Amino acid sequence: MLLIDCPFCGPRNETEFTYGGPALAPRPADPGAVSDADWVDWVTVPPNPMGPVEERWWHSRGCGAWLTIRRHTVTHEITEVRLGR
């Protein structure tokens, strides 16, 4: 179980949060230059590396803030929590 340190509410159990997916890179500046296959990958294939990732979490059973956390996928250690993107 993860313990997420909400900036407003303090440390809370992950059951108070809703996972919002990986924090993705912004959309390409020139969408017309991106192939259909690359768009499908960008939209539907989440990154799944071993190591640090950035994820979005919504404090749905708390203050309602959207957080971006940096978490190690092997150890589940959370090294950073910040508001928004």
Instruction: Answer yes or no: is 63 within a domain.
Output: yes
9: domain CATH number is 3.30.2270.10
The boundaries of the domain holding residue 56 are: 3-26+37-83
Instruction: Answer yes or no: is 31 within a domain.
Output: no
Residue 42 CA to residue 33 CA, distance in Å, equals 14
| pTM, rounded to two decimals | 0.79
Domain count within the chain: 1
- Mean pLDDT for each consecutive 10-residue tract of the chain (85 residues)? 95 96 82 89 83 96 97 95 86
CB–CB of 65/83 below 8 Å? yes
Instruction: Answer yes or no: is 48 within a domain.
Output: yes
The pLDDT of residue 43 is 82
The residues, any chain, with a CB within 8 Å of residue 34's CB and separated by 6 or more, are 28, 42
The pLDDT of residue 50 is 93
